[in-house]
Amino acid sequence: MHFALMRRLPGWKRLMLAFELTQATRQLVVADIRHRFPGASDGEIRRRFIARVLPREDVIRAYGFDPKQEG
């Protein structure tokens, strides 16, 4: 049922909904990180977010830290 309704929407509306879902997911991830690490700085939150959404090798290569070592 839901998919049938989505198919009827114009492309721009489906794209907008996809962006909104992505933003909501990011907000949930950040909220979880803040909950788990209440004293974390904005920089630490950013690093932990990056470590969650990118493969470990990419984090090491692009950002210079290893999520496994930093916890």
| Higher pLDDT among residues 57 and 1, named by residue | 57
Q: What is the average pLDDT across 30-35?
A: 97
Give the side-chain half-sphere CA count within 13 A for 45.
17
The model's confidence at residue 34, banded by pLDDT at 50, 70 and 90, is: very high
* Residue 5 domain flag: no
Number of domains in the chain: 1
Residue 61 is part of which domain span? Answer: 15-70
- The pTM assigned to this predicted structure is 0.77
Q: 32 lies in a domain?
A: yes
When pLDDT is averaged across residues 18-41 and rounded to a whole number, the result is: 96
**Has residue 19 been placed in a domain?**
yes
% of residues, the chain, pLDDT over 90: 72
The amino acid occupying position 60 is: I
pLDDT at residue 1, as a whole number? 60
What whole-number distance in Å separates Cα of residue 40 and Cα of residue 46?
10
